[in-house]
Amino acid sequence: MLTKDDLIDYFASGCKPRAQWRMGLEHEQFAFHAQTGAPLAYEGEPGIHQILETIASRFGWKRKYEGEHLIALSKDNQSITLEPAGQIELSGAPHPTIAAMVGEHQAYTQELEAISEDLNIAYLSAGVHPRWSRDDIHWMPKSRYKIMRRYLPTRGKLGLDMMTRTCGAQINLDFESESDMVTKLRVSTALQPIMIALFANSSMVEGKDSGYASYRAHIWSDTDPDRSGVLPFIFEDGMGFERYVDYMLDVPMFLLQRDGEMIDMAGKSFRDYMDGKLPESKTYTPSIKDWEDHISTAFPEVRLKKYLELRGPDSVPAPLLYALAAFWVGIFYDPETLQNAQDIIKDWGIDEHIVFRNDVARDGLDTIVPGGHITMRDFAPSVIKLAEHGLEKQTAEKDGLVYLDTLKAQLNAQK
C-alpha cells in the first residue's frame, strides 16, 4: 500500500552530494511550414509525424508510441517530445557542466537543421507565436491532452492558450538536502521574475502588441489556480518535503496510466485516491508511478521533483538560451553565492512575491522590485553580477561566463 511516507521519500531520494550535481536543459520551439508560415498538423507533409520519423531514421533515436501514433523519441538520456499543438521539445540529459549541456543542445539543433530543407520546415523560439491564433493550430494525438483540453477551461480562461500557443525554456538543477532544497526553491521562486523579464519574448500576439512584455507569463496566471503560480507556503516556517507532498495531494489529478491507456481522473483528489475513497481506488492500486505522473501535472513557477525545475522564461534562441543555465548554476552551485541571494530576498513578504511575479508579465524590466525603491532594470545587474561571481568560483563552469555576457547584452539592449 502506498503511504504518505513513500511520497516524502520519493522527493528525499533526490538529495545528491555536491560532486553529483548536474544540470538539464529543456527547450520548446514552434515548427512551421517554411514557405507559408503555417503551423503543422500531425499527419501530412510537412507534418509533425514526418519530423519525428525523419529524425529517428537519420540520427538513431528510439521511437515511442501511444497506440499507433509516434509521440516521442529518446537517445542517450535525452528525449524529444510533443506539446499539445505540435511544439517540439528537447528534454536534455543531466550534465556535469554547462559546456556539456551546450554541446548536447547544439548537436540536437544541428539535427533539426539537417532535416529542415528536405522537409520544408523551419522553427521559431518564442514564448507565444506572434501571428497564429488558437484556431490556426492543430492538436496532437495524445490522450492526456484530450483530458487537459476538456478540464482546463473549467479552471481558467487561458488554459487552452497555454497548451497550444506557448513555448518555454527550463533548467533543472539538484539539491543536497531538504534544507538546501528549501533555500533553492525560495530563492529561485523569488528571483524568477528576473528571468521572465530578461527572456521576455512574447509581446506580440496575433500580429498585435499584447500590452505584455511576456504574454506567455500572463497566460500562466489564468490557466489553473490550483496548479500554477507562486506557492505561498514555500516561504512559511515548516517548509520541507512533507509540506510539498501535502500540496500535491490536494492538487486535482488529470489522469492515471495503465497498460498504455489514459484513465481520466480530472478534478479528483490524489489524497482520496490513495485513501481508497474513489471508485477508481477499487480498480487501480496507487503506485509511485502514479505519483510521479501526478506531480508532473502541477505547473508552479518552480516545480519540485527529484530535482528542481525552474520553468519561468519564454523560449529564446541560443546563445541567450544558455544564459539560463549560467545564471542559475552561478547562483545555486556556489554556497556563498546562494546565501547572498537568500539575503537579498529574506525581507520580501509573501504578497510581494506574488505581486512581483504578476507585474513582471506586463511590465518586464520596468517592474518595481519588492521594497518599492527600484525597477528590475536597476536591480537585475547586481543579481547577474552575483551569478557571475558564483560561476567564477566554480572552475569547471568558467566557460559559462560568456553566456552571462549575453544576458548583460540583452539587458542593455532593452534600455
**pLDDT tens by residue, 16-42:** 999 999 999 999 999 999 999 999 999
Instruction: Give the confidence band of 260 by pLDDT, cuts at 50, 70, 90.
Output: confident
Dig out the grid coordinates for 280 from the structure.
Answer: 477508481
According to the 3-state scheme, what is the secondary structure of 235-304?
A: HCCCCCHHHHHHHHHHCCCCEEEECCEEEECCCCCHHHHHCCCCHHHHCCCCCHHHHHHHHCCCEECEEE
Strand 228-229 to 208-209 pairing: unpaired
Specify the DSSP class assigned to residue 214: B
Strand partners, 351: none
Structural element, H or E, at residue 204: strand 204-205
Dig out the grid coordinates for 72 from the structure.
Answer: 516521442
Specify the DSSP class assigned to residue 84: T
Instruction: Enumerate residues 6+ apart whose C-beta is below 8 A from 142.
Output: 66, 69, 71, 82, 84
Specify the DSSP class assigned to residue 92: P
- CB-based burial, 133-144: b 16+ in 10 Å, e otherwise: eeeebbbbbbbb
Average pLDDT value for residue range 290-296: 98
Average pLDDT value for residue range 365-376: 94
pLDDT reported for residue 175: 98
Does residue 415 surpass a pLDDT of 70?
no
| Contact criterion met (CB below 8 Å) for 298 and 248 | yes
Does residue 108 surpass a pLDDT of 90?
yes
Does residue 191 surpass a pLDDT of 70?
yes
**Least confident window among 79-83, 182-186, 220-224, 370-374:** 370-374
Average pLDDT value for residue range 236-260: 96
Q: What is the pLDDT of residues 325-337, one digit of tens each?
A: 999 999 999 999 9
Does residue 183 surpass a pLDDT of 80?
yes
Instruction: Enumerate residues 6+ apart whose C-beta is below 8 A from 320.
Output: 199, 403, 406, 407, 410
Average pLDDT value for residue range 312-328: 97
pLDDT reported for residue 350: 96
| Contact criterion met (CB below 8 Å) for 393 and 336 | yes
Domain ranges of the chain: 4-251+298-413
Please, what is the average pLDDT of the chain? Answer: 96
Sign of CA dihedral 264, 220, 206, 196: negative
56-60 — which CB contacts under 8 Å span 24+ positions?
58/111, 58/114, 58/115, 59/111
C-alpha angle 352-354-358 in degrees, rounded to nearest 5: 115
Dist CA 270 CA 222 (whole Å): 23
Strand, coil or helix: 342: helix
| Contact criterion met (CB below 8 Å) for 39 and 138 | yes
Does the domain at residues 4-251+298-413 carry the CATH identifier 3.90.100.10?
no
Average pLDDT value for residue range 181-203: 97
Average pLDDT value for residue range 211-222: 98
Instruction: Give the confidence band of 395 by pLDDT, cuts at 50, 70, 90.
Output: confident
pLDDT reported for residue 238: 96
Average pLDDT value for residue range 285-302: 97
Does residue 213 surpass a pLDDT of 80?
yes
Average pLDDT value for residue range 159-178: 97
pLDDT reported for residue 23: 98
| Contact criterion met (CB below 8 Å) for 159 and 227 | no
pLDDT reported for residue 33: 97
pLDDT reported for residue 373: 85
- pTM of this prediction exceeds 0.95: yes
Dig out the grid coordinates for 58 from the structure.
Answer: 537519420
Dig out the grid coordinates for 228 from the structure.
Answer: 500554477
C-alpha to C-alpha distances, 410 to 94, 113, 338, nearest whole angstrom: 27, 25, 23
Peptide bond into 286 cis (omega under 30): no
Instruction: Enumerate residues 6+ apart whose C-beta is below 8 A from 410.
Output: 198, 320, 323
Dig out the grid coordinates for 198 from the structure.
Answer: 530578461
Instruction: Name the burial class of residue 344, with classes exposed (0-12), middle (13-18) and buried (19+) by CB atoms within 10 angstroms of its CB.
Output: middle
